[in-house]
Amino acid sequence: MAGPTFETPKLLDDTATLPIPSVKPGAMQGVQSFIAGDKIQEQLGYPGELLPNWKERAIERMGELLQKYRGLQVFLDACVHCGACTDKCHYYLGTADPNNMPVARQELVRKVYRRYFTFAGKYFPKLVGAIDLTEEVLDQWYSYFYQCSECRRCSVYCPYGIDTAEITMAAREIMDSVGRGQKYSNEILGKLHRIGNNLGLPGPALEDTLAGLEEDILADTGVPVRLPIDQKGAEVLLVTPSADFFSEPHVESLIGYAKVFHAAGISWTLSSTASEAGNFGLFIGSYENMRKAALRIREAALELGVKRIVVGECGHAWRVAYSFWNTLIGVGAGAEDPFGKALQQQLDHRYKQPSHICEVTWDLIQKGAIKLDKSANDHRIVTFHDSCNVARASRMGDIPGGQFIIPREIIKASCNHFYDMAPETIYEGTFCCGGGGGLLTDDLMEVRVKGALPRMQALKQVVDDRKVNFMATICAICKAQFTKVLPYYGFPMSMVGGVHQLVSTAIQLGSNE
């Protein structure tokens, strides 16, 4: 396929951050992902094509969302255009298109909100910058709300915590509800509802893959590590991104989880109906779709009778699991419906429910239940990329910021050479990989490559100064995005991998048998 041509931005020497570009209006206006067809739309309960009365319906839907989401209402009112966010979005830094500045992206919706829902916008539209909803506006929405990875970096820096992700989600939900959906996200969500995972892998294909992996591990290590599926009565249900079953380097982390459970003697299982942790309902701002996607996991947990639910290396999946599962399906405490109550009784509340695989592994390392030989990773000089949904929208362990500490502690326990990237580009200030939030599609390659620029620049600095040759992440989208984008910037695609890939290399199997 002949992709669109564009110029890859140049990296500079001796700096972790690039200068802020001057605005280039309209630079990315024409860059759009493919629009979803009617079959894809209807599976999710949306109109198949743009409704004849789409304007009225869009305004009506905006009104409904304003009454359902306090964040949206407050965020649309509170912005003062101070400019604090203007240089915070990786897509602005990479493309210089001013509509990729968080405030301007929000204004695309806010201008319409003002026109139809505020006194000033109804009577003095020019004064406050209010505009009618037109096809041109809809087209802009479609361009720029699919150039946002919902990474929430702007919300860290906004004096009022205004979160563009919330506006992006609302805009996407409004567009979906009038029949203008995105092919990539909505098709994947449809596959999840239909088959049980984002890749559309049926049960037998999964079983085959897992059997093949078991053989590989045995050949590699001489230890019969199992990767069980649909095993009733297992202690742990592991839910992981389906990329872990097939893609490189993702599968290396899956092998890592299996080795951790094996070495610690914990019985575990995957589920053929709930193999997928990713939940694209989040990306399109659909509570109903997000809930429906999450319910499969509750059903599988009840059916298999597990005591713990553990989530693999997937950024937005961990956000949905950590922050929303308790709300959506009652994993945590306090559910009222019969299934939620039954799940509560079944789960072992001595453990965090749900747990991240990093919480599990770190706990086992601290207890001495697994042993790691750091020198096995001596060929790697490692840095860590904080994935945005983990960093800015979830947590691990017991203290604020545990999501930054725990993965780093696991890395340090697994290898001898670890160096962080520049402080302003990690932790809650981390730069997105550029492919999150429903952008991991080839039709948006230009957005992805340019959006990765700030991360690539910070990476270049540790590559130059520290000879870093491995960037660990705990997100399937980061892994997929980086393997594709790294070569554009002259880095080898193999330098990205999972935290549990490092664990997999260092772990001493059989030490606890």
Partner 1 sequence: MTTTTVFFAALFYVATAILVLGLARKIYQYAKTPAPLKIPTTPAPTTKAGVIMRMGREVVLFESLFKSNKWIWIFGWLFHVGLAVVLFRHLRYFQYPVWDIVSFEFVQAAGKYASFAMVAGLIGLWARRFLVDRVRYITTLSDHLILLLLIGIGLTGMGMTFVSHTDVVGLKIFMLGLMRFEINPLPEDPLLMAHLALVATLMIIFPISKLLHAPGVFFSPSRNQVDDPREHRHLAPWATELEK
Scan residues 177-196 and list those touching partner 1 (CB under 8 A): none
Of 48 and 161, CB closest to partner 1: 161
- Tell me the window of 27-35, 43-51, 393-401, 456-464 that interacts with partner 1 (CB under 8 A): 393-401
Q: What 3-state DSSP class applies to 218?
A: helix
Q: Does 343 bind partner 1 (CB under 8 A)?
A: no
Give the DSSP H/E element, type plus range, for residue 339: helix 338-346
Phi-psi group of 271: left, alpha or beta (phi > 0 → left; psi -120 to 50 → alpha; rest → beta): beta
The one among 163, 252, 276, 443 contacting partner 1 by CB under 8 A: 163
The one among 11, 112, 133, 162 contacting partner 1 by CB under 8 A: 162
Q: Are 255 and 12 in contact (CB under 8 A)?
A: no
The one among 61, 180, 307, 392 contacting partner 1 by CB under 8 A: 392
Scan residues 121-150 and list those touching partner 1 (CB under 8 A): 126-129
Q: Are 501 and 471 in contact (CB under 8 A)?
A: no
Q: Letter for the amino acid at 391?
A: A
- The answer, yes or no, to whether the previous bond of 228 is cis (omega within 30 of 0) is no
Of 229 and 306, CB closest to partner 1: 306
- Report the sign of the C-alpha dihedral through residues 287, 289, 294, 295, in that order: positive
Distance CA 475, CA 455 (A): 15
Biggest CA–CA distance in the chain, Å, is 76
Distance CA 190, CA 491 (A): 35
90 phi, psi to nearest 5 deg: -65, -30
The one among 158, 170, 201, 433 contacting partner 1 by CB under 8 A: 158
**Rounded to the nearest 5 degrees, what angle is found at the Cα of 424, between the Cα atoms of 432 and 360?**
60
Distance CA 394, CA 390 (A): 5
Of 51 and 128, CB closest to partner 1: 128
- Tell me the window of 51-59, 336-344, 456-464, 503-511 that interacts with partner 1 (CB under 8 A): 336-344
Scan residues 347-366 and list those touching partner 1 (CB under 8 A): 352-354
Q: Does 345 bind partner 1 (CB under 8 A)?
A: no
Name residues whose C-beta falls within 8 Å of residue 113's C-beta, 6 or more positions apart in sequence.
Answer: 62, 66, 76, 121
Q: Does 80 bind partner 1 (CB under 8 A)?
A: yes
- Tell me the window of 235-243, 302-310, 390-398, 442-450 that interacts with partner 1 (CB under 8 A): 390-398
Q: Does 326 bind partner 1 (CB under 8 A)?
A: yes
Give the DSSP H/E element, type plus range, for residue 308: strand 308-311
Of 20 and 493, CB closest to partner 1: 20
Site track 202-231 with partner 1 (rule: CB under 8 A), x = hit: ------------------------------
Q: Which alpha helices (H) appear in 273-356, and where do they start and end?
A: 287-304, 315-319, 325-329, 338-346
The one among 9, 94, 98, 312 contacting partner 1 by CB under 8 A: 98
The one among 71, 200, 203, 228 contacting partner 1 by CB under 8 A: 71
Query: CA distances (Å), 65 to each of 78, 170, 217, 296, 495, in order?
Result: 17, 7, 50, 26, 42
Q: Does 91 bind partner 1 (CB under 8 A)?
A: no
The one among 35, 393, 440, 507 contacting partner 1 by CB under 8 A: 393
Q: Does 341 bind partner 1 (CB under 8 A)?
A: no
Q: Does 81 bind partner 1 (CB under 8 A)?
A: yes
What's the token pair of residue 6? 């564009």
Q: Does 400 bind partner 1 (CB under 8 A)?
A: yes
Name residues whose C-beta falls within 8 Å of residue 30's C-beta, 6 or more positions apart in sequence.
Answer: 143
Of 347 and 415, CB closest to partner 1: 347
Q: Letter for the amino acid at 338?
A: P
Query: CA distances (Å), 168 to each of 72, 387, 489, in order?
Result: 10, 19, 28
Residue 432: closest CA among 467, 470, 496, 477? 477
Scan residues 262-321 and list those touching partner 1 (CB under 8 A): 287-288, 291
- Tell me the window of 32-40, 181-189, 363-371, 392-400 that interacts with partner 1 (CB under 8 A): 392-400
The one among 86, 286, 414, 425 contacting partner 1 by CB under 8 A: 86
Least separation in angstroms between residue 482's CB and partner 1 is 23
Q: What 3-state DSSP class applies to 384?
A: strand
Site track 365-384 with partner 1 (rule: CB under 8 A), x = hit: --------------------
The one among 188, 239, 335, 507 contacting partner 1 by CB under 8 A: 335
Scan residues 439-498 and list those touching partner 1 (CB under 8 A): none
